[in-house]
Amino acid sequence: MAISSALEERILRVPARDWANHGSRSSFVRFLCVLCLSAVTFAQTQGEEPSKALDRLLALYKSQPSDWRVCHQIGLSYMRLEQLDRAREFFQKTLALNASFLPARKNLATTLWFLNRKREAEREFRTVTRASPDDPVPHLYVGLAEYERKRFLEAMEQFEKAGDLALKNPEVLPVVAETYDRAGQPEKAYAAYKKAIELDPSAEDGYIALAGFAVDHQNNEFALKVTSQGLEKMPGSLRLLVLRGLIQALLGKQEDAERTLLDASRSDPKSSLPLLAVGVSQLERGRYQDAAASFRRAADIAPGDFRARYLYATALRRAGDPYRREELIAALRKAGALNPKDARPPAMLGQVLMEAGRPGEAVTELEKSLRIDPENPTALYQLGLLYRDQGKKELSRKMLREFEGVKFKKKEEEDEAVQILRIVRER
């Protein structure tokens, strides 16, 4: 039996960013096990409180432990109660009794994903794609897994197989669009960004994503136009105001930028974003000490925001004051601790330590950067030089070959202003 229209609507509203980052418990509650329930299965328990349903089913399980249907229903009840590990246990019991029951396999895969056991989840989803190649749900998850690995051609193929679940979902489309762009399909990327806005014209993320795409492709005037369109819908959007101010600064419209950023700071005085944007504008004008002061104030407002620490370090590095080198190193260590999944702080830290004559520490940081992002150009190049100095000729050649292979592909490293803009665009 087909999934009901109400369930389909809920499926199409699941946020892709939650999926891509293994999700929070709150995002899990938003869709529970909707992805995999048939209309019959859903109808059996939708009118009953999950805890009562679970008690009834556990009592039934004691007398019928070999009934795979009961095991599956228990798994669903645990999902609704957010007891994910218990849900996983009963979905696995279901499959041990009936390995061909695909809803249980999809629910198991979904539960594993939200338990951050993504490799196991992906393996289960791939099993479903082989058994049911027209099912869009597993293709979407496999695509998200490929996206996380930065295998954009493979992710693109999976998203296209997911069909409307990926290509007509405003919350998934920004991920799809970025995938197209990174796979060398900018026309398809542009169409996906535009489609996201068309489907949800009141969502600021769509305008921010399209404007950012335009900036990445050196079309700042168009990016400015996109922010204007977004602000017509959401006049007080802090993120749109900040992004607009940054783009104005990149275009050399400094007075306009300052006015826009002042409006942004008034819209939310407790936000660090306007100060980050002011600092970027100051960086663009070569006012490095002023920029450092702006980023320091932003860090005071939001001490847990790695962007403020990283940009503060960037300003100090550009200022070039040797007496503040330890302060620069401390800022980069703090940025790395606040966001250990970002390769940029350890890459810059390795470079700074190398310049300070501390090659052993530099190698440690640069290798850490490459473990996070094997294609970080700064880390590849600096490690190539360090390995050469250490007499590790083969390793040095390997690093420098890889650097040559990625330096043109990593667009965010081509233009420092665009790289900084990307950081501020992040939530």
Q: Which two tokens stand for residue 178?
A: 């970025």
Could you say which of 132, 151, 169 is where a domain stops?
132
pLDDT above 50 for 47: yes
Domain limits at 389?
341-427
Q: Note the pLDDT tens digit of each residue in 245-262.
A: 989 988 989 889 888 988
pLDDT of residue 3: 31
Of the pLDDT bands very low, low, confident and very high (cuts 50, 70, 90), residue 406 is confident
Could you say which of 102, 132, 162 is where a domain stops?
132
267 domain residue, yes or no: no
Contact (CB, 8 A) for 242 and 420: no
Q: Please state, in angstroms and as integers, the Cα–Cα distance from residue 56 to each residue in 59, 112, 220, following that order.
A: 5, 25, 61
Q: Note the pLDDT tens digit of each residue in 340-386.
A: 999 999 999 999 999 999 999 999 999 999 999 999 999 999 999 99
Q: Note the pLDDT tens digit of each residue in 89-121.
A: 999 999 999 999 999 999 999 999 999 999 999
Contact (CB, 8 A) for 331 and 318: no
108 domain residue, yes or no: yes
368 domain residue, yes or no: yes
Q: How many domains does the chain have?
A: 2
Q: Which two tokens stand for residue 154?
A: 């493979």
- Residue with the bigger pLDDT between 223 and 51: it is 223
CATH number at residue 360: 1.25.40.10
Could you say which of 107, 132, 157 is where a domain stops?
132
